[in-house]
Structure 1
């Protein structure tokens, strides 16, 4: 603080913009938008190949939703105990060791969000070509990713409005699709009540394997924790946002799959990737494919916006902690993390131009799942090691809630490692590579402190 002469008016401190500008509504919208991507519109065809049962399919999405809800409630306890942006970077640093948190942040800051954004942008280009034949998918994908980035760079007010409106339109269009589906005059002869043999389906290996991909469709339930430092009244808003968002998405996912089965013969969907378009043709006729393609495009825009919003917050948090990365902590006057946002869109652009995003996604799945596992395990660790830690919110039904999530996530990691051992090991290797930067940053930090002490001395 600058000193002033006796009797004079103290020099005014520069105004610091309030970063906590995100409301409960916007935090909920971001979580919903991040969850509803393309997975729910494509996975049913592969599930039906081994689980030809309406009840069992719906139970698959209900079980996956319950696991996601357990994870969301556990993360909410961590987020209000440590109300800072950064997600797993923040949590694992506080619970275990800064090096582990840095490795988690390293994955998120580099490709953890950029690769899903690139995939969503490319999917947007492909589906947009279904609405406007002849449109170049790569160019369209790049255009939508950069357009969303420019909106986010413009400031918090426009970004908030865009996210809320685009998510509301997405949910409304899905609701219209569901209502139209249940209104078809000639539904399929399918029952959603338990039938003989359903227990066998639910206890089968295909059900367990399908659950892995269902959980990926639910990924994004933890979105609000990445922006905890920007949320107003996080102790109240974050638990509400995560609970409401997850419940809404579970309801939409169950109803969407019910509509697919209600309107379209199983034989027509089995093994098909474009299940939603096949169902759209049965609901809306010949133009159904274009209608569904447009619906998915709208949904992907809000998903891209959500991931572009929350990803840079991890980079900002790391930049605030480590001088070597301090460039990424810079914000505009309106609080936008400009450098971090431009860095993320640059990585997205490279992934799109090199068409390497699908490969990157395969390599990072194991490490991302491991980080979520360790974060939820941290709820139990902290209850034992820091029982007096202030917890404005405590996870419901503890310890059952975290144990459910840990069981499902543990199975996912076992499946990933057994089916894709090389990719899983490479994923751990990429995560561990962040240790090099961590120790370089730590050494820079220690040198800086020593220099400050020498100057003061």
Structure 2
């Protein structure tokens, strides 16, 4: 999932075109890219949800360590797929090559209706929660702010305005500054009375679940599956890819352990579990209202950076879906005047607003959208893991620049983990998960109706798309 809203390449760009990127990245460059992709705004929101599903501080910290290990295993599996089958289509290409066009269509449908739009709604709710803490405009402030974010950024992208690379680097630097600020504040500037409270805080009685805690943890680690796309551009080849993956995940895990230790140190497990803006509460406890405003603005900037990139790339995914499948031809139209897929932006924005509405109905916006996206995300990640086995069998003689170590044990662990997270995201969640699965099943109905819909479209003479 670009469950946390990191930039995602277009999913459906055609299964037959294979790119040939030139090796241009050093190990340090690649590590910087991966860390930048993974460390997003989610780390300022999901720890409170993990705390609410942890029995103790030890379990809380252990889930983050386990999340790093699971992410490393998955990254190694993706490293083999992306170096063997380099293609801008990513998962769409792997699934097409392993299973054919039908599962690939369902993946493209899921990205449009669940995964990508869910990521946009998640990030919008993060912004809404923090802005509501800085300046509340009523009991529905978070939802209103979230909706405004989607409307404004969709409009900006439609009229063709894009953020330059220099600005993106600045915003990313501000995001990292926010992470470091929270770590330093929590570990070195916590008032003595706050530390005492945090060590004795009791956890409220609830139905704690390791499975659900891991759903939130791995949402925050989300992005390594996209980062593997740079594997074909490494100067150092196979050995370098393994080094990059291992070091990147270790660095990310260290950052997450430190920032969560800071949260735990200041707020305690109970305080975290009751917070909707955990970094804001930490900064308020250490530096007062000024710290609250500062971190709120930094988090909002970080999330805005991610949500803008997600809106930009998500619309191009939908545009590609319209080009590959004539039934969705309306999405496959490109506006020459604005140099953007306007229809794809509008549909994506509408779905994202509908998801924000779903969060409003349930009164737990962020949690509901996590529930909505998680089962579908982990289902397709499980299929990608199976695709690695299928492609090894179908094309055993194909040159593989990087082979996943300890095959078949490593990818088997990845598949089992993905299946367990799929199970957990169904069993331990609520309405959101059921809606997400229902939307995916709607995609199944559309898939089986494609021949009939295509004939009706031809009879009516409607455009098939570009």
Question: Shared topology, TM-score over 0.5?
Answer: yes
CA contact (8 A) 2:71 2:218 kept: yes
Q: Which moved more, 1:129-138 or 1:209-218?
A: 129-138
2:190–2:266 contact (8 Å) kept in structure 1:
no
Is the deviation greater in 295-304 or in 425-434? 425-434
Q: 1:210, CA displacement in angstroms?
A: 2.4
Q: 1:108: Cα distance to partner? A: 0.9
Q: Tell whether 2:299 aligns with 1:296.
A: yes
Aligned to 1:165: 170
Out of 169, 178, 195, the position equivalent to 2:183 is 178
* Counterpart check, 1:32 vs 2:38: yes
Equivalent of residue 407 in structure 1, options 391, 401, 416: 416
Distance in 2, Cα, partners of 1:177 & 1:423 = 31
Q: State the match for 2:356 in structure 1.
A: 352
Report the alpha carbon displacement of residue 383 of structure 1 after superposing the two structures with TM: 1.4
Match of 2:78 among 71, 75, 86: 75
SS at match of 1:74: helix
- The structure whose Rg is larger is 1
Separation (CA, whole Å) in 2 of partners of 1:336 and 1:396: 42
Provide, for residues 64-99 of structure 1, a one-character-per-residue CA deviation record: whole Å limited to 9, x for no partner. 112122223322332343333444333222211211
What is the deviation of 1:63?
0.9
| Alignment match, 2:121 | 118
Q: 1:381 aligns with which of 384, 387, 390?
A: 390
Q: What is the CA-CA distance between 1:102 and the residue it aligns to?
A: 0.9
Q: Which residue of 1 aligns with 2:150?
A: 145
Kept after mapping to 2: 8 A contact 1:85/1:313: no
Is contact 2:51-2:270 (8 Å) kept? no
Q: Deviations over 1:239-289 (max 9, x none)?
A: 698777645432321111111223344554454444333322332234433
In structure 1, runs of 5+ residues without a counterpart are 1-17, 193-204, 450-457
**Would you say 1:340 and 2:344 are equivalent positions?**
yes
Conservation of the 8 A alpha-carbon contact between 2:130 and 2:277: no
**How far off its partner does 1:446 sit?**
9.5
Alpha carbons 2:96, 2:103 under 8 Å: kept = yes
Q: How many positions carry a matched residue from both structures?
A: 413
- Give the drift of 1:121: 1.5
Q: Match of 1:211?
A: 214
Distance 2:159 2:421 in 1: 39
Alpha-carbon distance in structure 1 between the residues aligned to 2:249 and 2:320: 25
TM-score after normalising by structure 1: 0.74
Could you say if the C-alpha distance between residues 400 and 148 of structure 1 is closer, same or farther in structure 2, counting changes exceeding 3 Å? Answer: farther
1:200-239 matches, cutoff 5 A: 206-224=209-227, 234-236=232-234
Which residue matches 2:5? none
Between 1:419-428 and 1:251-260, the stretch displaced more is: 419-428
Q: Is the 8 A contact 1:67 1:408 kept in 2?
A: yes
Worse-matched range after superposition: 106-115 or 337-346: 337-346
SS at match of 2:163: helix
In structure 1, the residue matched to 2:95 is 92
Q: Gaps spanning 5+ residues in structure 2: where?
A: 1-18, 200-207, 459-466
Which of residues 364, 374, 397 in structure 2 aligns to 1:365? 374
Q: Residues of 1 paired with 2:267 and 2:430: CA distance?
A: 37
Cα distance between partner residues in 2 of 1:417 and 1:352? 20
Distance in 2, Cα, partners of 1:308 & 1:34: 15
1:310 aligns with 2:281: no
> Conserved in 2, the CA contact under 8 Å of 1:68 and 1:218?
yes
Return the match for 1:129 from 110, 127, 132. 132
Measure the CA separation in 2 of the matches of 1:279 and 1:191: 11
Q: Is the 8 A contact 2:371 2:425 kept in 1?
A: no
Q: 1:422–1:121: structure 2 CA closer, same or farther, 3 Å change rule?
A: closer
Residues 104 and 371, structure 1, Cα contact 8 Å, conserved in 2: yes
Instruction: Name the CA shift for 1:44/1:396 in 2 (closer, same or farther; >3 Å).
Output: same
Alpha-carbon deviation of 1:340?
2.3
